[in-house]
Amino acid sequence: MHYSTETRDHGMRHDPFKALVVPRPIGWISTLSADGVVNLAPYSFFNGVSDSPPMVMFASAGTKDTLRNLRETGEFTCSIATWELREQMNMSSATVSAEVDEFALAGLEPAASRFVKPPRVARSPAALECRHWKTVELPFDPKRPQLAYSVVFGLVVGVYIDDAFVKDGRVDTGAMRPLARLGYMDYSVLTPESVFSLNRPQVAGDGRSATVPGGAWDGNYR
C-alpha cells in the first residue's frame, strides 16, 4: 500500500503512522504547578536529542497539565517506565482533573529530586532532572485543532541511577527492562537477552572504503 498523509486514504481503522515509528521510549514526566500540585504523565513521543549538553524532548497533543505546569515553574523530571511499573505507568495516563495527584492515583511513591523541585518515581531505576529550555508549536491540521502538538525541550541538569543497575562502570540498561511504545495499544520491553552490540565501521585512510572490526566492543567511541 501507499497513501497520502494529507488525505489519509490508508483504508485502515486507525492511522498506521505510530505503528511504524517504533519503538519509542516513554517519557514519564513529572511536573509541579505554581501551587505545588504534582502531575505525572507518560509521553510516547519522547527521546534524547543531544548529549553535549544532555537534552531531551517530548511532544504533547493539546495543552495538558504538564504544559501548563512547565509554563508556571519551568522544571520537570523524567523517570524510566519499566516492565515492573507498566500498570502504574498506564494508570498515570488517565486524564483526571488537574488537582489529582497521579502518583497517588497510580499507587506510586515520589522521591525528592536533587536539582529540581518536581519529584521522580521512587521505584524507577533511573530518572532525569530537567529545566525547560524551549517549547516549539508544530503545524496542525485545521480540521483537528485539538490535536495540535507542542514539542518541549529540556536541559538535563541531574541524573539519578539506581546503583543496582551499574555494573563494571556501565549502565545495565537491559536489566532495567524499560518499556517502549508501539502503535495502537501495543508496548514492548527491552530485556538483557535482546541487547546486542555492533562495532562501528572504520574508514580506510583514503576515505573510499570501510571495514567493521571483529570481536566485542573495546569500550571506545569512534
pLDDT digits (tens, 9 = 90+) for 139-166: 987 777 777 899 999 999 999 999 999 9
Q: What is the overall mean pLDDT for the chain?
A: 94
Residue 81 domain flag = yes
Of the listed ranges 47-56, 59-68, 101-110, 178-187, the one predicted with least confidence: 59-68
Is 16 contained in some domain?
no
The answer to the question of residue 216 being in a domain is: no
pLDDT at 34: 95
Q: How many domains does the chain have?
A: 1
209: helix, strand or coil:
coil
Quote the pLDDT of residue 216: 86
How many CB atoms within 10 Å of residue 112? 10
Give me the pLDDT at residue 206, please. 95
Residue 4 lies in a domain: no
Q: Containing domain of residue 76, as a range?
A: 24-211
Range with lowest mean pLDDT among 7-11, 68-72, 202-206: 7-11
- Residue whose C-alpha cell reads 498523509 in the numeric block: 5
Nearest to 48 by CA among 19, 85, 69, 78: 78
Taking residues 35-60, report their average pLDDT.
Answer: 97
The model's confidence at residue 62, banded by pLDDT at 50, 70 and 90, is: confident
Residue 5 covered by a domain: no
- The pLDDT assigned to 5 comes to 85
Flag whether 221 is in a domain.
no
What is the rounded distance in angstroms from the CA atom of residue 150 to the CA atom of residue 49? 16
Residues 179, 189: contact at Cβ < 8 Å?
yes
In the three-class reduction of DSSP (H, G, I as helix; E, B as strand; rest coil), residue 9 is classed as coil
| Alpha-carbon separation of residue 48 from 28, 69, 104, 117, 214 (angstroms) | 13, 21, 28, 21, 29
Residue type, 99: E
Average pLDDT over residues 73-86: 98
CATH number at residue 125: 2.30.110.10
- 8 Å CB contact between 77 and 118: yes
Q: What is the pLDDT of residue 219?
A: 82
Q: Residue 186 corresponds to which amino acid?
A: D
Is there a domain that residue 1 lies in?
no
Interval 198-208: pLDDT, tens = 999 999 999 99
